[in-house]
Amino acid sequence: MTGRSDPALELIERGVRTQAGAVLIGPAGVGKSTLARHAAEQLSAEFDRVDWVLATASPPDVPFGAFEHLLDVPESGKTAAVLATARQSLGDGRLLVIDDAHHLDALSAALVYQLAVSRAVRVVLTATVGEWPVPAEVTALWHDDVAARVDVTPPGHEDSRLRAQVDAFVAGLSSTTRRVLEFLAVADPLSLEDAAALTSAHAVDDGVQAGAVIISQDGVRPAHPLFVDSVRDRLGGPDLRRLRSAVVGRLSSAGPHGVVGRLRVAALSIGSDSPLPAPDLCAAAREALRLGDLELSERLAQAGLGGGHDLDARLTAGYALAWQGRGREADAVLAGLDPASLSDDELIAWALPTAANQFWMLSEPARATAFLQSIRAKVDDPGARTAVDALSATFAMNAGNLDRARDVAEQVLGSPDADETAVGWAASAAALCAARTGRFGDVDALAERAVSAGQPGLLRFTSGFGQTTALLMTGESDRALTLARRLTEFAQRRQPGRAIGEVLTADVLLARGELTQAVSLLRDAATTLAPTGYSWGPLAWMLLAQALGRLGRPADAGKALARAEARHGLKSMLFAPELSLARAATLAAQHDTHGAVEAARAAVKAAERGGQTAVALRSAHVGARLGDARAGETLARLTGELDCAFGREALAEINGS
């Protein structure tokens, strides 16, 4: 393995001093960790504190797992609040050295990126590219020019030869030392007490003497990750299950402390011979859902099925699957419950995700609406009915019936029986309705109420879309872009949230005329959202067709338009004006000026039919730019109905003043 490399050290130090840090990239075993250690030693005098974070492949992937020794994850609060707390706790200007960053869990990776991009810390990361997928937040550090990339590839390095050397070293260890490595292959790190209890104090000492393991501030660890890789390759499935079972037994009896500890034990238990009781698995699944780890939440909830807590397990799994866009699987899980056996509260708890999944993921809005109304007729509790009404308001908005959506949402928000779920649905729908109908002064308060309800899922984007729309119409496009990007960053790089945030950002970029950037975002977002049932999917294709058409690319615009038309339906009728604008841009690119003008007029009519005065104004402005001789009259009329900066500027533009 390589030792100190002065040119590489200089690059690291320069990255730390002039950027947010440096990322060392190279194959396993080339000395990246040693180089990072030398850099930390050289730089330590410039920082009040230097902390090491070691990500590993051995423990289950749990939220903030890599930062367990530095953070106390709060027992309540959703992802945004937890990340904010973590940033505040760690963002004191320290130097963070993150070893094997390719193994970071998603929330740890998001935390590292946010700390680095805000310059709240300086970072030195090591990562192996190729063998393991690297979290998008880590690759973004150098792609976004937040940190310097330092490639570490010594001449003569051969992965196969290194692996052979590691295998020979591990084979030559005593059976007791290998036993320590075997336990570390399923749970790394282990506390000194746990490692000694699972093997023996003598075995741990022997491992240290042999150079196979080390004792660090957070416990017993392999001296090099390749040692546990070699051991894991020798173990069969039954061996790994027995090892996990022993670890779960030990950690459970010792009473795991904290959110991360509980999640780690629950996740380990799934692959063991002694899974935790269903109530514990369901509690852990809810915890993972709260923190936004949908994949872990789904695994834990599915493991809890059949243990006497099917309602809890199926609801959690249903949410986790639906929010990933896996509607058919969510429907199958939720359909496993017998509604006749449920109390009123349980019936509502089951009906809401079932109906939402039908409406969006399964693209069956008529069925979902009828189902929801049938449920409302079966319950007498005012709170239950309010929850049903809140979701009905969101359905009505997406179906383009903004008057009904607004009326129902206002009733819900004025009801003393509305719980947080109802407030979240109703306020987010009301915020977007207010923006598109031109009641800009109401938007922020409604959006704030939606966010304050603290509901998980993607409601923040609905209210956020209302805010960006209002900002664009009131002449504050810079603030709109900042907000859209903040919402996108909030989603980390997890899907589909990230893609929805990119649709919001692209909508602002389109309004600003920054078409190339919009296309770049929309291509990826539309592809990501295509397998899901979110209404954002058709909107992404509509906006992409608009951008491509305005760039004069008729063939590409036509393809995007065809996809938008194929995916558009009742669940995305709110965006019928955007679809007409997509046709207008495509026809204009094809030099069909008459057809383009007619399509822009159709967008105005569709918007006005739905009471979407703000959208009608934007559509009339498009018509004016396409050469519609009647667009000036339409703009003047609409600006008389809705006085705003956008309308005044549009009128001034076509009047040449």
| Full-model pTM | 0.84
The tokens for 631 are 């667009």
For residue 1, pLDDT over 50 is answered with no
Confidence at 12, pLDDT banded by 50, 70, 90: very high
Cβ atoms 125, 152 nearer than 8 A: no
Q: How do the domains of the chain map onto residue ranges?
A: 6-157
Read off the pLDDT of residues 340-382 as tens digits, 9 standing for 90 and up: 999 888 999 999 999 999 999 999 999 999 999 999 999 989 9
Cβ atoms 398, 575 nearer than 8 A: no
Average pLDDT over residues 30-43: 93
Average pLDDT over residues 13-31: 94
Read off the pLDDT of residues 515-526 as tens digits, 9 standing for 90 and up: 999 999 999 999
> Element (H or E) spanning 520, and its range?
helix 515-529
Environment class of residue 324 by beta-carbon count within 10 Å: exposed (0-12), middle (13-18) or buried (19+)? Answer: buried
Q: Could you tell me the CA-to-CA distances from 534 to 361, 389, 461, 527 in Å, in that order? A: 6, 20, 12, 12
The reported pLDDT for the residue numbered 254 is 75
Percent of the chain with pLDDT over 70: 97
For residue 126, pLDDT over 60 is answered with yes
Average pLDDT over residues 13-30: 94
308-317, 327-336, 415-424: the lowest-pLDDT one:
308-317
The reported pLDDT for the residue numbered 3 is 44
**Which residue from 396, 323, 393 is spatially nearest to 361, judged by alpha carbons?**
323
* Residues composing the chain: 657
The reported pLDDT for the residue numbered 490 is 65
The reported pLDDT for the residue numbered 2 is 44
Average pLDDT over residues 610-637: 96
Cβ atoms 492, 452 nearer than 8 A: no
3-state secondary structure at position 53:
strand
Q: Supply the DSSP string of 555-612, one letter for each residue.
A: HHHHHHHHHHHHH-SGGGGGGHHHHHHHHHHHHHHTT-HHHHHHHHHHHHHHHHHTT-
Read off the pLDDT of residues 190-225 as tens digits, 9 standing for 90 and up: 999 999 999 999 999 999 999 999 998 888 999 999
Torsions phi, psi of 22, nearest 5?
-145, 150
Q: What does the alpha-carbon distance between residue 375 and residue 626 come to, in Å, rounded to a whole number?
A: 48
The tokens for 614 are 């703000």
The tokens for 435 are 């923006």
Cβ atoms 464, 483 nearer than 8 A: yes
Average pLDDT over residues 399-409: 96
The reported pLDDT for the residue numbered 457 is 58
The reported pLDDT for the residue numbered 458 is 75
Confidence at 497, pLDDT banded by 50, 70, 90: confident
Average pLDDT over residues 386-395: 95
3-state secondary structure at position 475:
coil
Read off the pLDDT of residues 249-282 as tens digits, 9 standing for 90 and up: 999 887 767 899 999 999 999 989 989 999 999 9
The reported pLDDT for the residue numbered 657 is 53
Q: What is the 3-state secondary structure (H, E, C) of 319-357?
A: HHHHHCCCHHHHHHHHCCCCHHHCCHHHHHHHHHHHHHH
More confident of the two residues 217 and 557: 557
Question: What is the residue-averaged pLDDT of the chain?
Answer: 92
Q: What does the alpha-carbon distance between residue 373 and residue 401 come to, in Å, rounded to a whole number?
A: 17
Average pLDDT over residues 162-174: 94
Confidence at 4, pLDDT banded by 50, 70, 90: very low
Environment class of residue 310 by beta-carbon count within 10 Å: exposed (0-12), middle (13-18) or buried (19+)? Answer: middle
Confidence at 492, pLDDT banded by 50, 70, 90: low
Confidence at 306, pLDDT banded by 50, 70, 90: confident
Environment class of residue 65 by beta-carbon count within 10 Å: exposed (0-12), middle (13-18) or buried (19+)? Answer: buried
**Which residue from 560, 69, 307 is spatially nearest to 285, judged by alpha carbons?**
307
What would the CATH number be for the domain defined by 6-157?
A: 3.40.50.300
Show Cβ contacts of residue 640 under 8 Å, excluding neighbours closer than 6 positions.
Answer: none
Query: Residue 66 carries which DSSP code?
Result: G
The tokens for 601 are 């007029």
3-state secondary structure at position 213:
strand
80-84, 130-134, 169-173, 239-243: the lowest-pLDDT one:
130-134
Q: What does the alpha-carbon distance between residue 10 and residue 169 come to, in Å, rounded to a whole number?
A: 33
Q: Could you tell me the CA-to-CA distances from 123 to 194, 276, 602, 609 in Å, in that order? A: 31, 37, 53, 54
